[in-house]
Amino acid sequence: MNAAPLLALNNVSKLFGGVHALSGVSCAVPRGKIIGVIGPNGAGKTTMFNVITGAFPADDGTVLLDGRAITRERPHRIARAGISRTFQNIRLFGSMTVWEHLLVAQPHAEAGLRRLLPTSWADPAALRRAEEVLEFFGLQNVRDRIARSLPYGLERKVEMARAVTARPKLLLLDEPVAGMNHEEADEIRRLMLQLREGGLSILLIEHDMAFVMNLCDDLYVLDFGVIIAQGRPEEVRVNPVVLDAYLGRAA
C-alpha cells in the first residue's frame, strides 16, 4: 500500500494585495480518506481550494498530487490529473439539463475526436458512465430537467455528480451540506462514505461540526490563513485553541 499521501500541501502561502489569505499551510490527504478543513468565516478555506485547483497560483510553497508538483499548473491540466471540486455557492451550467451536465464532465482524453460526433450514437462509453452516475446519486427522475431549476438539495447533488463523473482521484467539496436539513445532509454523508468505499479521496470544507464528526478521518483547523490545529475530530472538538478561534469571533 502506497504510504505517500495523494495530495500534499507544503508550506503554501497566498497573498492578496499584501494580506496573507494562506500562510505556510501544510496538510496532506492520504489515499482513500476523508479529510476535513474547518474554521471560521474568512479563514482561507476556499482560497485553499482555489490554490489546489489552480484558479489562483500559490505565491509560495508546493502542491503535490501523487508526488508530482502541480503548484502553478493551469486549471484544466490539474483537473485532468484527477482533481474535481464543488463550490460553496453552487455553480451549475445555466442552460444545461442534469444529463447534459454529466455528459460534458466526462473524461476528456478517452473520446478524442469522437467528441465531434453526436453523442447518442458515437460515444456509448460516455452514455454508460453518465447513466451510472445518475443511478448512484438517484437523479434518474430529473435527468432531463434544467439543473438550475431543481430544488436546492438536488442542485447540490447534481454538482457533486458532475464532479465525480470524470472518475477523479481527489474530490474537493466546499460546504456540501450548507443550508440542508438533517435528512438531506445524512444522504450526502452516505454518498460520501460510499464514494470513499469506491476508492475516492475527499477533502471537505465544512462549518458544521456535527457533520464532520463520524465522517472525517482527520481534521485541519484553519484560522486567518494558518493551520492552528490538526487531529481526529473528537480531539479537535475539545481543543482550546480551536474553541477560542470559533468563540472569539462571530463565526
Residues in contact with other proteins by CB under 8 A are 53, 55, 74-76, 79-80, 84-85, 87, 91, 93-97, 99-100, 103-108, 111, 115-120, 122-123, 126-127, 130-131, 134, 140, 143-144, 162, 166
Q: Which is nearer to other proteins, 75 or 138 (CB)?
A: 75
- Rounded to a whole number of angstroms, the minimum distance from the CB of residue 109 to other proteins is 9
Q: Which is nearer to other proteins, 166 or 227 (CB)?
A: 166
- Rounded to a whole number of angstroms, the minimum distance from the CB of residue 105 to other proteins is 5
Residue with cell string 510553497: 61
- Buried b or exposed e, range 49-76, using 16+ CB within 10 angstroms: bbbbbbebebebbebbbbeeebbebeee
- In total, the chain counts a number of residues equal to 251
Q: Which is nearer to other proteins, 68 or 76 (CB)?
A: 76
- Rounded to a whole number of angstroms, the minimum distance from the CB of residue 123 to other proteins is 7
Q: Which is nearer to other proteins, 14 or 162 (CB)?
A: 162
How does DSSP classify residue 148?
A: G
For residue 179, the one-letter residue type is G
- Rounded to a whole number of angstroms, the minimum distance from the CB of residue 91 to other proteins is 5
Q: Which is nearer to other proteins, 93 or 224 (CB)?
A: 93
Q: How far apart are CA 156 and CA 89, in angstroms?
A: 9
- Rounded to a whole number of angstroms, the minimum distance from the CB of residue 16 to other proteins is 11
Q: How far apart are CA 197 and CA 8, in angstroms?
A: 21
- Buried b or exposed e, range 111-134, using 16+ CB within 10 angstroms: beeeeeeebeeebeebbebbeebb
